[in-house]
């Protein structure tokens, strides 16, 4: 029933004891890095400062900017000889974020991944196709090690080339696949172009989807299109990558592995903890990482802890689906809007196709939100009245959701630009913000 019986079902009091013990070790290891070493000494902090989980609040937050300012080695707690791998983000907007691992870290990550996959119902009898870029991005190797640890037959397919993905699925009888949700809409279109129905022409029963924000509506579409169960996987490179929080087969929130990560939800403005069950920014501390521990890392991801216990028996708390990142939010005509609010509306409308793009532009001195929406093939047939009706329906529903009337443009399926990796949902062209 569980991958690691004892750890996954620990009594809360025992889990907290383990967390305190591991937190102390983490502080000690972190103090070997120049960043935490200097900072904590200056502030008079050490492992002894922590006697309970809530004592973590005595320690300062760590931000992405801190990581960038101390790039590449400032957070490293071990000599280079001990390290066996690094992963890093692209760094298009400054220094990349790099995370170093020693053998223990890679081993413990593989275990968390295997545990996560088992939790979503994957077993060693499955054939697992990982449709994800291998390389510095964590979704490739991170999953690979977990799939192998669990004992599935792994197909390290990599990203892109949809025809080849479909062929692999058919040749080897893939039963489980991992991909980012925005790609799966595209993959489905290619299935159709090739004259296949994934429900009938593959053995797929499970998808693992994650690495980018998506809505419940999007999940349901994927489940219907492919005839599978789709489980949400959350992670970030700073916390290894995937294997941080995962849905179990009850699909009611993501169990976050609290023996490996200590979590807090804070109000991003006051930096104080939010009340139980409220949405705030997720703050995370590694509890089982040796090479590069991170303490009170501000993820910028917005979520909440779901109340109550899960019927699966795991005692680790469940996070709600990520509502967005605090830096994803944009303001139009005084209204705060998250892209996922718009996706939620669009994905409920059956005529809407795979993709959409929100462009923010100043038109005649006024901020406008233009939403280009791909429409399914059989709808895009030149029947202007029908399209006009659909456009008005979308406009009205989005206005009701976000309180701003968008300019909706319906476009042909496949016509919006596709990004290499995670989907880009918002294009900011407003003058005031760019000057």
Interface with Zn ion (CB under 5 A): 248, 250, 310, 312, 314
Q: Which does 312 bind (CB under 5 to 8 A by kind): ligand AMP, Zn ion, none?
A: Zn ion
Tell which residue, 371, 335, 367, has the closest CA to residue 432.
Answer: 367
Q: Which does 332 bind (CB under 5 to 8 A by kind): Zn ion, ligand AMP, none?
A: none
Q: Which does 73 bind (CB under 5 to 8 A by kind): ligand AMP, Zn ion, none?
A: none
Q: How far is the CB of 327 from Zn ion (least distance, A)?
A: 30
Q: Which is nearer to Zn ion, 243 or 339 (CB)?
A: 243
Give the C-alpha separation, 87 to 141, whole Å.
10
Between the two ends of the chain, the Cα-to-Cα distance in Å is 57
Q: Which is nearer to Zn ion, 146 or 253 (CB)?
A: 253
Q: Which does 310 bind (CB under 5 to 8 A by kind): ligand AMP, Zn ion, none?
A: Zn ion
Which segments within 201-240 are labelled E, that is strand? 206-210, 229-236
Side-chain-side CA neighbours of residue 70 (13 Å): 20
Q: Which does 299 bind (CB under 5 to 8 A by kind): Zn ion, ligand AMP, none?
A: ligand AMP
Give the C-alpha separation, 52 to 248, whole Å.
29
Q: How far is the CB of 233 from ligand AMP (least distance, A)?
A: 6
Give the C-alpha separation, 283 to 302, whole Å.
10
Q: Measured at the alpha carbon of residue 262, what is the angle toward residues 256 and 266, in degrees to the nearest 5?
A: 95
Q: Which is nearer to Zn ion, 310 or 349 (CB)?
A: 310
Q: Measured at the alpha carbon of residue 112, what is the angle toward residues 106 and 115, in degrees to the nearest 5?
A: 140
Q: How far is the CB of 378 from Zn ion (least distance, A)?
A: 39
Q: Which is nearer to ligand AMP, 319 or 357 (CB)?
A: 319
Q: H-helix or E-strand containing 352?
A: strand 352-363
Q: How far is the CB of 255 from Zn ion (least distance, A)?
A: 6
Q: How far is the CB of 254 from ligand AMP (least distance, A)?
A: 7
Give the C-alpha separation, 402 to 396, whole Å.
10
Q: Which is nearer to ligand AMP, 208 or 291 (CB)?
A: 208
Q: Which does 248 bind (CB under 5 to 8 A by kind): ligand AMP, Zn ion, none?
A: Zn ion
Bridge partners of 86, per DSSP, are 100
In this structure, the strands spanning 407-411 and 366-375 are: parallel
Q: Which is nearer to ligand AMP, 82 or 320 (CB)?
A: 320
Residues that bind ligand AMP (CB under 6 A): 89, 138, 210-213, 232-237, 241, 299, 301, 322, 325
Give the C-alpha separation, 314 to 9, whole Å.
5
Q: How far is the CB of 142 from Zn ion (least distance, A)?
A: 21
Give the C-alpha separation, 257 to 108, whole Å.
12
Q: Which does 372 bind (CB under 5 to 8 A by kind): ligand AMP, Zn ion, none?
A: none
At a CB cut-off of 8 Å and minimum separation 6, what does 193 contact?
none
Q: How far is the CB of 254 from Zn ion (least distance, A)?
A: 9
Q: Which is nearer to ligand AMP, 212 or 216 (CB)?
A: 212
Q: How far is the CB of 318 from Zn ion (least distance, A)?
A: 7
Q: Which does 236 bind (CB under 5 to 8 A by kind): Zn ion, ligand AMP, none?
A: ligand AMP
Q: Which is nearer to Zn ion, 221 or 314 (CB)?
A: 314
Three-class secondary structure of residue 426 per DSSP: strand
Give the C-alpha separation, 406 to 342, whole Å.
10
Q: Measured at the alpha carbon of residue 373, what is the angle toward residues 350 and 178, in degrees to the nearest 5?
A: 70
């Amino acid at each position: 029933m569980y991958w690691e019986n004892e750890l996954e079902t620990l009594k809360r009091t025992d889990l907290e004891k383990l967390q305190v013990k591991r937190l102390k070790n983490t502080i000690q290891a972190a103090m070997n890095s120049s960043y935490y070493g200097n900072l904590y000494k200056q502030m008079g902090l050490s492992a002894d400062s922590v006697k309970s989980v809530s004592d973590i609040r005595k320690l300062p937050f760590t931000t992405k900017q801190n990581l960038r300012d101390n790039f590449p080695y400032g957070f490293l707690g071990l000599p280079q000889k001990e390290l066996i791998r690094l992963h890093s983000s692209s760094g298009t907007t400054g220094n990349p974020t790099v995370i170093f691992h020693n053998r223990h870290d890679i081993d413990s990550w593989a275990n968390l991944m295997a545990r996560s996959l088992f939790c979503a119902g994957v077993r060693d009898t499955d054939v697992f196709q990982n449709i994800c870029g291998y390389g510095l991005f964590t979704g490739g190797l991170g999953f690979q090690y977990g799939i192998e640890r669990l004992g599935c037959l792994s197909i390290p397919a990599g990203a892109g080339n949809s025809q080849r993905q479909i062929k692999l699925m058919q040749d080897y009888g893939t039963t489980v696949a991992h991909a980012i949700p925005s790609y799966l809409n595209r993959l489905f279109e290619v299935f159709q172009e090739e004259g296949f129905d994934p429900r009938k022409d593959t053995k797929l029963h499970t998808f693992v989807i994650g690495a980018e924000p998506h809505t419940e509506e999007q999940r349901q579409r994927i489940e219907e299109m492919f005839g599978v169960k789709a489980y949400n996987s959350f992670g970030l490179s700073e916390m290894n990558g995937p294997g941080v929080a995962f849905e179990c087969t009850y699909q009611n929130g993501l169990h976050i592995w609290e023996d490996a990560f200590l979590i807090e939800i804070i109000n991003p403005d006051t930096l104080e903890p939010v009340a139980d069950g409220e949405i705030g920014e997720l703050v995370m501390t590694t509890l089982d990482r040796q090479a590069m521990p991170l303490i009170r890392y501000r993820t910028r991801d917005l979520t909440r802890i779901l109340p109550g216990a899960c019927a699966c028996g795991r005692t680790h708390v469940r996070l709600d689906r990520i509502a967005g990142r605090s830096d994803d939010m944009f303001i139009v005509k005084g209204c705060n809007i998250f892209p996922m609010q718009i996706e939620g509306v669009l994905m409920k409308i059956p005529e809407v196709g795979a993709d959409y793009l929100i462009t923010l532009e100043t038109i005649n001195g006024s901020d406008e939100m233009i939403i280009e929406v791909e429409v399914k093939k059989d709808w895009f047939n030149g029947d202007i009245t029908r399209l006009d009706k659909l456009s008005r329906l979308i406009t009205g529903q989005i206005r009701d959701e976000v309180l701003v009337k968008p300019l909706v443009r319906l476009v042909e399926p496949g016509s919006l630009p596709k990004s290499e990796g995670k989907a880009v949902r918002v294009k900011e062209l407003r003058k005031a913000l760019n000057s």
